[in-house]
A and B are shown apart, each in its own frame.
Chain A
Amino acid sequence: MATLYEEYTLCGVGPDKNSSSSGILGIELGKDVDHIIVTNSSRAVTVYKVSDQKPTGSWTVKQGQLITCPAVYNTKSQEYVVVTDNKVIRVWKEDDVNMEKAFKATVSSDVLRVIAASDSEPVVLFSCGAVMFLDSLLASPQQTIEGVLTEEEFIRWSTVVGAEHQLVLLFCTEKRGEHYLYAQRFNPNTVVKHRFETEPGPFAPISFSATCRGSNIHLQYLYMSGRIYESVLPLRSSVSEAEGVQALPRSLCLSLPLGEQELTSGAAIVLDEAHVAIVGFPHPSAGAGKDYLCIWNKHFQTLQACKELAGTIYSQIWCYSGKLYIPHGKILSVISFECQKSSLAAAMGKLKQTNQSESKSHTPLSSWTALPHNDSINAAKVKSRMSTRNASNVKSPLTVDQLIDHIKTAVVEDVQSAVGEFIHQTPQTDLQLAAGKVTMVLVSRSQTDDSFYPQRAFLQLLDTRYLCYSVCPELLSLAMAKRDFQLCQIAFQLFPDIPEAVTCAYLKTILSTPDSEMETLTLDTESLIIMKEMSPAQSQMEEGEQQNENGVSSSKQQRDFLSMDMKCPVGLHKGVLLNDVLQTAYSDKPLLQHLKDLTVLQVMVFLQYLHFLYLKYSQDVHKQIRALRIPSISQVIDWASLILDAHFTVLAVAPEAKSLVSDLHKFTRSQVKLYAELGKIEGSLQSLKKPKSTEHTGVYSIEVIELF
């Protein structure tokens, strides 16, 4: 999982007249991880202390001079280095007030960039492709520089990666639409030239990011087509390096969904092995033209976190020590992030706990399998209706694009029938890809158009089982906004990847909806039956108890002590919905965070319901085993612990919670006692099973044995 924290502004940026550039030439790391150097494309270099959001030093060049490369900090000599007017290298210390008075040296050829490398001298990259260490260049600044690049070849991007005392300078060039990668290694100095494979279409790589892992360099680059490729280069050059241009083997790591419009810019940066941060690309479900920062997990191809940024995004992004620096609008924002190690379990949350395997065979069809039946009727109706209206349409099924166009304009009924038609006629393999796309279009129209809400179409799409949360994240929030609990329930039953935030939001919605409103809902029948079974069982028991009361008084006492009788604190339908929430997959830590959003009243109701379930299960354990769609006792206990954790302080002081908490405590204590006793019995029985010690033979005997 990845988390983006609240952003804060570091400084303003002054966009140029043509606002395609942010005005920031570059951001480099300062003397430690809390200091960064922001180089303005105008004339200023400013050092900020990030945690204080304050500048600690600023230097400007004289009028008429121009800074042409981002300033860097040389950790070895603890000096700042910048290049002005392409040829003048300036070096100054933190204490120097005026940059003009500091050291400067004019070199013979145009410098493109000075690149800082940790634990090493900065590297100077000339526009002609030559590379030198700064100290050796400054030793004789006027030395002639030999060009590496050919005519009309320009450097687009450059970086230095290094590990194990091995530095590699990478830079990418463009020459008449062809893109090349140069890898310059030092000691011995070697240059290897690679050619990027061309994408079909007019797409070119627009953003690069290189990291060093183990003994390999991982270079990731983003194409305008939204594809991110990764190429792996060895950190150390092999001895038998072939001459000439080599092809760069690549593998596709991520394919970003593109909006409708053509993209010209965008930036991606690698955060760790699995995560990549991207700006300038549209959010898969938000409409086009919105500016988002997204963190994607390339292992699972999932969107992990996103944040909408105000103002124009300039396709610039930097990342230093857990913080992203993004200029947008008129500010430079700092956004902290955290990427947890991805594992399948972390990505998917806790696995859904299925009950007994035998129960599965019992009910091979899941709850709303009644729907396909309905569907076929619907589809038949649709067919007939459509055939009467437009016979030609029936014969040639709609293509995805046609359907999408149709959705954008048609009225709800037409859309629903068209979707139904589409699902029936599209082959399964195509449907898998199309379902998500269609849903997204449906969702985005519903979001913009209040009167448009094709519930039946959504249900049909859900029924294909090709949807999941990652495919259409907005569907659930839309359904919640429309209070479409039926859809939500099915989605919660089917989606394996609902984020904890959404689960909590849904929980909140359920708890805040009055029961009276709920009772009119049409919900999955099987769950309803289970809930009904639970509640009458309760009333029956109460009757039984009353009968008992006349004869046997002990049972009554027992009952009071454990306070076993409890009415279902929520309505039938609310209970059904809550049951589905309880069975959702989740991870403890993130969920806990979001659970804190619940109000005290909601917490109380929820806890009461959990208490109720717990009591029910403890009373008749055998009954719950039969049902498939019902939370298991461990799920109930897990949730109860979580909610207690999240609201412990509140529950401790809220007067209305007192009786509930003490009841729960009493009951749990009695259960603990019971299980402790069970443990003893188990121990005794186990020791019975142990092989009995051999019969006592006394201290001496004479025996006869036979060996074979």
Chain B
Amino acid sequence: MGEFKVHRVRFFEYVPSGIRALAFNQHNERMAAAKMNGSVEIFHCSDRFFQEKIIPGREQAGIEGLTWVGERLFSAGLNGVITEYDLTNQRVKYTIDAYGGPIWAITGNQQGTHLAVGCEDGTVKLFEVTEDKIQFERNLDRQKGRIISLSWHPSGSKIAAGMMDMIQVFNVETGHSKHRILVDRGYGTSRGKECVVWSVVYLSDGTIISGDSVGMVKMWRDDTGTLIKSHNITKSDVLSLSVSQNEDSIVAGTSEGFVVQFQFLSMVLENNEKDWVRTRTFRNHTHDVRAVAEITTAVVSGGMDTQLVVRPLLDKHEVKSSASKLRKIQFPHRSLVSCARKAGTLLFQYPGHLELWRLGESEGEGIPGSSLLLKRKPEKLLHLKVKGEDHIRCSAVSPCGEWIAYSTTSSLRLYKLHCDSNNVSITKISKLPKVLGSASQLCFSSDSTHLFSASTQSSVHMVSLSQPECKFVATFKTKSGSHQAIHLLAASEDGKWLASANIDNEVHIYNLQTRKAHCTVPIYSSAVSAMAIHPTTNCLFMVHADQQIFEFSIEQKEYTDWSRLVQRQGLHRIWLERDTPCLNVTFNQKNPSHVILHDMYMFCIIDQSQPLPDSKSQFLNQLTLRSLPEEQRKSYSHAFKVCKTFKELLCVDVMGDQSLVVVERPLEDITAQLPAPIKQKKFAT
């Protein structure tokens, strides 16, 4: 196989944002997660939690609540506005000021007719959900003190509202408060502190469940206002609650980082008298669990430690599969790094700025496993701050390293970079074709003469690059009806082909010379997580979220023989069981049969000339092969060369000099940047 020189990069100081709210949509199995930085991400729960959509946030847009109404997604936050999202184009559709001060909670009723928001001024405001907007309807009786949490009764006729020291139950019809349930404060020193009801859940049988800052999960009867049961689960706060679809299980997230499950069980076998019993404790977080959601087969939780944890409920799984495994989503399922192959520079995308780095150079040769002496250190060439409050949605650097483009949800910007020996200067290209607007994905042609910008309605605009003006060349449109935003673009090395993939799992190929749609790859059930066009054979190599691999010959408009062989033989179990999607595909120029892929925990070189591993062969065989003498290696080796030396990978790419670049972001470094957790178990201190 051979030796590789690897640039091991750890200076991309990317810090994911904490999770503030989760909302699960039962019907389309999508999980929406709101981040601390105001971005909203949509995960496909039945497609291995692939992160389908990312709606970038803005500065100062603290989201407090997230709710689905049918297929529509709403959020509200401390800036006092309610936001509806345009999920097709992955942007904010509109915002409406609720005029009640900061909003602490938002929730839609099950009927899909109304939204209720809880405001700082003590009102619960009802909004009617109309066809394309929402309309303020009325206020419920105003209370003294802010409304922290809300929950509709499934019938839609009552609302429970968590406040300071109490829970109010409203009759929606009259708007009057039916009951006022007082929640006990803590004992001792916390006696003087108000008890915040962080979360309420209203069940159809009239039980109200509350989680509060005293650390209690309490069950109340709504008709009498009496406490049925109370569980003290933590010394600090219970921040979030979520009930399962059939109301037999509740999960509570605490600020000590664990999630507690309660189940509605009969205490005695074959007895119908049921009770809420604390059953399981999941300790997967180090920090506050700000949001939990129980989906059909798993508990999803997220919080300050930025990871989304999918903890499967094993009693709901009959077979051991990828869905029955613990899944932690730490990094976005998009590449945040782009490489200028010929110039040897890397572009890092942060929410509010871009950084351009030049890689270092080494001296001399080294034996495998060693580090080389550095002749030149890596150098930060550029720190580009975003104009305006919007966060960056996508960015790209041209292969020659002279062009940088990025897009927010509102605008696209293009810069020309001038590099002298010591000086770096950039000029903004001010005259961009009007049509460009905003892009969901950007890509440069391999000769750096053209920019491809994925636009609304799954179309791609092509512009030629020149100074001081860029010219619009063409727009490629799909024939299919899908309007979903494109999340992946791939241009061929010879400048002839362009491939685009959208969230409807459609992959379209356009002929750049005739400027027409060429063909469409058969639709596969799982989303494309990475793709690239082979430089010599012009085959499109695709990796899907379910880890399947396809190779499609663009010229023949059919799957290649190798791809058919893979499908016939099946991929190895270990390959299919990996739980992070592949994020990048590149090729080795020296050896056209080598495909380089990576996910978060490994990178892999697939040698298409070698036999595929069968189910009996050892899949991770690098160590074995190393220990074998040269002549025996052949009989043991197979097509998948997996390297696990590097971990927590954000990017693996090949540079012009055939050296590899791996961008690592160790999780410890991220943890070190987070605020200290409330409680940490420590020994011997």
**Which A residues are closer than 8 A to B by beta carbons?**
341, 680-681, 683-684, 686-687, 693, 697-708
User: Which of B6-14, B215-223, B311-319, B333-341 forms contacts with chain A?
Assistant: B6-14
Report 27 cross-chain contacts, Cβ distance below 8 Å, ordered by A residue.
Answer: A687-B684, A693-B668, A697-B10, A700-B11, A700-B378, A701-B8, A701-B372, A701-B374, A702-B6, A702-B8, A702-B360, A702-B372, A702-B659, A703-B6, A703-B369, A703-B370, A703-B372, A704-B4, A704-B366, A704-B367, A705-B3, A705-B4, A706-B3, A707-B1, A707-B4, A707-B622, A708-B637
Instruction: Say whether A700 contacts B10, CB under 8 Å.
Output: yes
- Shortest Cβ-Cβ A-B pairs, 3 listed: A683-B683, A706-B368, A708-B625
- In the bound complex, residues from chain A placing their C-beta under 8 Å from that of B622 are 707-708
Say how far A213's CB is from chain B's closest CB, in angstroms.
10
- Give 1 or 0 for each of B75-95: 1 = CB within 8 Å of chain A CB: 000000000000000000000
Pairwise interchain contact A680-B633, C-beta atoms closer than 8 A: no
**Does chain A have a CB within 8 A of B618?**
no
By the criterion CB–CB under 8 Å, are A704 and B5 in contact?
yes
Q: A680-B683, A684-B683 are in contact. Are A704 and B369 (CB under 8 A)?
A: yes
Q: How far is the CB of A566 from chain B (nearest CB, A)?
A: 34
Report the bound CA distance from A698 to B377 in whole Å.
12
Instruction: Give the interface of B toward A (CB within 8 A).
Output: 1-11, 269, 360, 362, 365-372, 374, 377-378, 605, 621-622, 625-626, 633, 637, 641, 643, 645, 659, 668, 683-684
Given contacts A680-B683, A684-B683, A700-B360, contact A705 B10 (CB under 8 A): no
CB distance from B669 to the nearest CB of A (A): 10
- Which residues of chain B are near A705, meaning CB under 8 Å? 3-4, 6, 368-369, 643, 645
Question: Do A697 and B8 contact each other (CB < 8 Å), given the known contacts A704-B369, A705-B3?
Answer: yes
CA distance A681 to B621 in the complex (A): 39
Which residues of B are found within 8 Å of A683, using beta-carbon distances? 683-684
Whether B684 contacts A680 by the Cβ 8 Å rule is yes
With a cutoff of 8 Å between Cβ atoms, the chain B residues found around residue A687 in the complex are 683-684
Docked pose: A341 CA to B367 CA in angstroms: 70
**Could you tell me the distance between the alpha carbons of A680 and B682 in the complex, rounded to whole angstroms?**
9
Tell me whether B643 and A700 are in contact (CB under 8 A). Answer: no
Also in contact, A702 and B7, with CB within 8 A (given A680-B683, A707-B641, A708-B637): yes
Complex-state Cα separation, A687 to B682, whole angstroms: 10
A699-B371 in contact (CB<8A):
no
Interface of A is mostly: mixed
Q: Which residues of A contact B374 (CB under 8 A)?
A: 700-702
Closest to B357 in A: A700
Question: What's the nearest-Cβ distance from chain B to residue A10, in Å?
Answer: 26
B372 to chain A: which residues have CB within 8 Å? 701-704
Q: Is the CB of A703 within 8 A of B683?
A: no
A703 vs B5: C-alpha distance in the bound complex, in angstroms?
Answer: 6
A680–B681 alpha-carbon span in the complex (Å): 11
Task: State A705–B11 Cα separation when bound (angstroms).
Answer: 20
Give Cα distance in the complex from A681 to B685, angstroms. 11
Q: A702 — which chain B residues lie within 8 A by C-beta?
A: 5-8, 360, 362, 371-372, 374, 659
Tell me, rounded to whole Å, the shortest Cβ–Cβ distance linking A512 to chain B. Answer: 38
Contact A706 B2 (CB under 8 A): yes
How far, in Å, is A3 (CB) from chain B's closest CB?
A: 15
Query: A163 to nearest B CB, angstroms?
Result: 13
A697 / chain B contacts, CB cutoff of 8 Å:
8, 10, 371
Decide: B643 and A707 in contact? CB cutoff 8 A.
Answer: yes
Complex CA gap A683/B683 in Å reads: 6
Report the minimal beta-carbon distance from A345 to chain B, rounded to whole angstroms: 15
A677–chain B nearest beta-carbon distance, Å: 10
CA distance A680 to B369 in the complex (A): 39
A680: B residues at CB distance < 8 A: 683-684
CA distance A702 to B11 in the complex (A): 13
Which residue from A341, A684, A701, A707 sits with its C-beta under 8 Å from B371?
A: A701
Residues in A with CB closer than 8 Å to B370 are 703-704
CB closest residue in chain A, given B361? A702
Tell me the bound Cα distance from A686 to B684 in angstroms. Answer: 11
Write the chain B residue with the least CB distance to A684: B684
Q: Nearest CB to that of A687 among chain B residues?
A: B683
Complex Cα gap A683–B5 (Å) = 41
> In whole angstroms, how far apart are the Cα atoms of A341 and B267 in the complex?
13
Q: Which residues of B contact A707 (CB under 8 A)?
A: 1-2, 4, 605, 622, 641, 643
Per the bound structure, the CA–CA distance linking A683 and B682 in Å amounts to 9
On whether the beta carbons of A708 and B4 are closer than 8 Å, the reply is: no
Known: A697-B10, A700-B360. 5 other contacts (CB 8 A): A700-B11, A701-B371, A705-B3, A707-B605, A708-B622
> CB-CB < 8 A to B377: which residues of A?
700
A203 to B376: give the CA distance in the assembly, Å: 105
A680, B371: Cα distance in complex, Å: 40
Residues in B with CB closer than 8 Å to A693 are 668
Q: Is the CB of B371 within 8 A of A703?
A: yes
Question: Which residues from chain A contact B633 at a C-beta distance below 8 Å?
Answer: 708
CA distance A708 to B622 in the complex (A): 6
Of all chain A residues, which has the CB nearest B9? A700
CA distance A708 to B366 in the complex (A): 17
**Residues of the A chain whose Cβ atoms lie less than 8 Å from the Cβ of B2:** 706-707
B3, closest chain A residue (CB) = A706
- Identify A708's interface contact among B5, B641, B668, CB under 8 A: B641
- Chain B nearest CB from A683 CB (Å) reads 3
Query: Complex Cα distance A541/B183, Å?
Result: 59
Residues of A within 8 Å of B659, CB to CB, are 702
Docked pose: A687 CA to B684 CA in angstroms: 10
Q: Once the chains bind, are A699 and B11 in contact (CB under 8 Å)?
A: yes
Known contacts: A697-B8, A699-B11, A700-B378. The answer to whether A708 contacts B1 by CB under 8 A is yes
Q: In the complex the two chains form, what is the Cα distance from A544 to B368 in whole Å? A: 67
Q: How far is the CA of A91 from the CA of B470 in the complex (A)?
A: 99
What distance in Å separates the Cβ of A270 from its nearest Cβ neighbour in chain B? 15
For B625, what are the chain A residues with a Cβ–Cβ distance below 8 Å?
Answer: 708
**Would A698 and B10 count as touching, CB distance under 8 A?**
yes
